[in-house]
Every structure is written in C-alpha cells, then in structure tokens.
Structure 1
Amino acid sequence: MTGHRKATVAALLSLIPLRGRSIMDKSGLKRVAKPSKVRRKLGYTPEVRPVRQAEDEVNQMSSRLVDAMGIPGNPSHIPAAAGPCDAIDPDFTTYYRVDHPWALWEADPDDFDTAMENLRSRLPGMGWRITKDGPMNSRARNPEIMAVHTTSGHRVAIRALKTRSGDLKPQMDVTLISPCYQAPEGTDLSRA
C-alpha cells in the first residue's frame, strides 16, 4: 500500500465513529466485541449482510462515481473486498467492512478540474454529503473531496493527483469504504 493510500484510508477511518482499536481478553488475545458493546463502539448497529452483496454495492457505487466525474479515462479493475472491522472484530470472524481503492488512469490532467467540479455539483444529488472540499495536506496541495453517503454510511475520498512525485503519472484517486457489517451466521469470512 502506497503512502498516500495509507493516508487516505486512515483519513476515511478517522471519519467513522470509533472508540477503540481492538478488544483484548485477559490473556492478551484479540476477540470479537460483545453485541452490547458493538453499538457503543461504532455509534450504530451493523446491518447483517452477505459479503458478496456488500461488495457488489460498493462496486456499483464506484461505477456511479466514475460516471459522475464525467471525464474520459480507464478505471482500475480492482474489485471491492471485505476486510476486518478493526474496532470490534480485528480477527475478522463476525464483522467486516468493504474497502475499494481505485484510480481513473489515462485521464487528461487538464480534465481533473472538470471532474472535481462535476463531483461537487453531482454528489449531493446522489445522496452524498461533502465533508471536505479543498487541497490535500501535502506539498503538491492537490484537490480533494471527502464525502459520506447520507443513507448508507459509506465514505469516500477523491483526489485529483495532478502533481505526483517521481515518474508517477497523474490520476484521479478514489478510496471508498463501507460501514461495518455483520456477516450472516455460518459465514466463514476467511473464505469470503
């Protein structure tokens, strides 16, 4: 994971209401939070949802974001994937969230301002509330939009990386993260 990708995920996770990183038992082994503590730690009760359904929803949201940008380019073909909901189940046994980091490649950097302006005007109509719209906290000061979906709780960070270090080409960079879900009983998350 690249440095800016880690920073994006960390920034998005900081927007999800969490009050602890993991639960430890007396032996120091990690375990799943008790249902009575899950809501308190997350600020919401995770919906029971099959993993594939949650991943498909995130992939569809990403497709709509590409369309909302309204510029030509090729989205990376990395599918959304389930991972641990660290605050309540760091061992990835019962609760999960879906992450989808992707980029729009081969887009003309001259179109990035258009993409960001399109997102500013279109995201609210798509159910997103913009929580940040301004330059990244970096030397390049590339533009960044962060938003939360008002009904589903998904979070997104979209960055127009016009200026990048070294020989890295410009790209539109997107990280989409779902809220935490509870896997249906009998689900083996290690095989999901």
Structure 2
Amino acid sequence: MTGQRKATVTATLLILILLRGCSLMESTGSGPVAKPSKVRKILGYTPEVRAVPQAEDEVNRISSRLLEAMGIPGTPSTLPAAAGPCDAVDPEFTTYYTVDHPWALWEADADDFDTAMENLRSRLPGMGWRITKDGPQNSMARNPEIKAVHTTSGHRVAIEALKKRSGDLKPQISITLVSPCYEAPEGSDPSRS
C-alpha cells in the first residue's frame, strides 16, 4: 500500500470514528442494551430485524449505485461494508448494530469532480435520496460536500470531493455510507458475523 493510500485510509477511518463519536455523545451511556420499549424512543424508529451479512450486502450494493451515479472514471477502494455497534442503544454491540462503508474513488481526475458532484445532485433525488447538505465543507480547503438521507431505508451518506488536500495527497472523492440501526436475529451475535 502506498503512502498516499495509507494516508487516505487513515483519513477515512478518522471520519468514521468522528461519525460514530457523534452517536456516542447521544448515547445512553456505555452499559447494557436499551430495553425494547426505549429503543424506538431513543432512535425515533423501530430497528428492522436483519442478519448482518444481508445488511452488509445491501450497503455494498448502495455504494455501487452511488459510484455509478457519479458517472466519472476512477478506481474505487475495495474496503467492504462492515457492521459496528449502534451506540445510541447498544454500545456493547450485542443486539443492535449499524453497517458503515467508508470508501474512496481513486485515480479520478480532479477536473471531473465537479461533474461527479453535479451528477449526484441531479440523480440522487431520483434514486430515493433527500439531499440535506450541498455546499462547501467547513474547512480551510472548502471542498464540495453533499450529505443525503435515503427516504425509505434511512441510510445516510456524506460525499466529499477532496480537490484540495494537504501535503502531497492526491485528490479523491471520499464517501461514507452508514445504515440505520438494525436488530440482529434472536440467538445471533452481530459482532461475530
């Protein structure tokens, strides 16, 4: 793995940690799983019962559709989606879980980034996504960013066109896709799937 790819993977993982950190702040605290009667109140919805591999496959398929919607050439990273704790109701990762998929589009021409973001702006609503943010990042680089929520599945995505990066890091499009919380089927352990 090249130094650039290591730095990008590290940055992507930091974004994932930050996203999960927000969930931790809203959490009920580390400890036992929230009672089912409280789960809906805390999350605002009742988590669907779903096996981890099924939820991971769905997130990988959604990522593929997002890549197609960008409509530009490039090489996507190969890190697959993975289950993690639903911190708000189950920080111990025993019953409830989410699926996260941080990935990037490498070897894409930065001149095509505007095209990719414009394609996403026009195509995401037709794919069932509601755009919740479309503008520059709150950073010195002010790179373009789109955030969206899927109106029926509840998946969330953050897409950043990182045209300007510090040091000698090459431009990339960074995508972080996160599922809603799911409940593992009775008798299964989501952390061991």
Please, what TM-score do these two structures have when normalized by structure 2?
Answer: 0.89
> 1:184 & 1:50 partners in 2: Cα distance?
6
Long gaps (5+) in structure 2? 1-8
Q: Where does residue 42 of structure 2 map in the other structure? A: 41
Deviations 1:34-81 (A, max 9, x none): 001000100000000010110000000000000000000000000000
Q: Where does residue 176 of structure 1 map in the other structure? A: 177
Q: Where does residue 84 of structure 1 map in the other structure? A: 85
Long gaps (5+) in structure 1? 25-29
Q: Where does residue 191 of structure 2 map in the other structure? A: 190
| Aligned residues between the structures | 185
Q: Where does residue 27 of structure 1 map in the other structure? A: none
Cα distance, 1:138–1:12 mapped onto 2, change above 3 Å = farther
Please, what TM-score do these two structures have when normalized by structure 1?
Answer: 0.90
Instruction: Give the percent of matched residue pairs that are identical in Structure 1 and Structure 2.
Output: 73
Deviations 1:127-170 (A, max 9, x none): 00000000000000000000000000000000000000111110
> 2:130 & 2:37 partners in 1: Cα distance?
30
Matched to 2:77, the amino acid is: S
Matched to 1:180, the amino acid is: C
After the TM superposition, which residues 1-192 of structure 1 pair with which residues of structure 2 at under 5 Å, given as runs? 2=10, 6-7=14-15, 10=18, 20-23=26-29, 30-192=31-193
Cα distance, 1:172–1:19 mapped onto 2, change above 3 Å = closer
Deviations 1:104-139 (A, max 9, x none): 000000000000000000000000000000000000
